[in-house]
Amino acid sequence: MEIKHIDYFKTLLGNDNVFDDKAHLIAYCYDATRTRYQPDAVLFPRDEQDVSDILKYCNEHRIIITPRGAGSGFTGGALPANGGIILAFEKHMNKILEIDMENMVAVVQPGVINMHLQKTVEAQGLFYPPDPASEEYSTIGGNVSENAGGMRAAKYGITKDYVMALRAVLPNGEIIRAGKRTIKDVAGYNIAGILIASEGTLACITEITLKLIAKPKMSQTAMGIFPSVEDAMNAVYKTMAAGVTPVAMEFLDNLSINAVEQKFNKGLPKDAGAILITDVDGNTQEELTQQLDIIEKAFAENGCSGFKRAESAEESKNLWFARRNASQSITIYGSKKLNEDITVPRSKLPALLKAIGEVSKKYNVTVPCFGHTGDGNVHTNVMVDGSDPKQLEIGHQAIEEIFKATVTLGGTLSGEHGIGLSKAPFMHLAFSDAEMELFRSVKKAFDPNNILNPSKMGL
Rounded distance between C-alpha atoms, residue 164 and residue 105, angstroms: 9
Task: Sort 184 into a burial class: Cβ within 10 Å, 0-12 / 13-18 / 19+.
Answer: exposed
Going along the chain from its start, the domains and CATH numbers come out as 1-215+422-458 (3.30.465.10), 218-409 (3.40.462.10)
* Sites in the chain below the pLDDT cut of 70: none
Total number of residues shown for the chain: 459
pLDDT at 393: 96
The answer to whether the beta carbons of residues 292 and 280 sit under 8 Å apart is yes
3-state secondary structure of 230: helix
- Calpha distance 175→167 (Å, rounded): 7
Cα–Cα nearest to 39, from 51, 50, 24, 53: 24
Rounded to 5 degrees, what angle do the CA atoms 167, 168, 170 make? Answer: 150
Q: Is the pTM of this model over 0.75?
A: yes
Q: Residue 110: which residues within 8 A CB-CB, separation 6 or more?
A: 69, 89, 93, 139, 140, 141, 142, 144, 205, 206, 207, 208
| One-letter amino acid of 308 | K
Instruction: Determine the pLDDT at residue 167.
Output: 98
Calpha distance 415→153 (Å, rounded): 11
* Alpha carbon 2 to its chain's center: 36
| DSSP letter assigned to residue 260 | H
Q: Is residue 407 within 8 Å of 139, Cβ to Cβ?
A: no
The confidence score (pLDDT) of residue 237 equals 86
Helix (H) or strand (E) holding 245: none
Q: Is the dihedral of CA 381, 386, 392, 394 positive or negative?
A: negative
* Continuous segment of H or E residues that includes residue 219: strand 218-226
In 254-376, at which residue ranges do the beta strands (DSSP E only) sit? 274-282, 306-309, 336-343, 369-372
- Report how far apart, in Å, the C-alpha atoms of 349 and of each of 40, 181, 399 are: 44, 37, 17
3 state SS of 280: strand
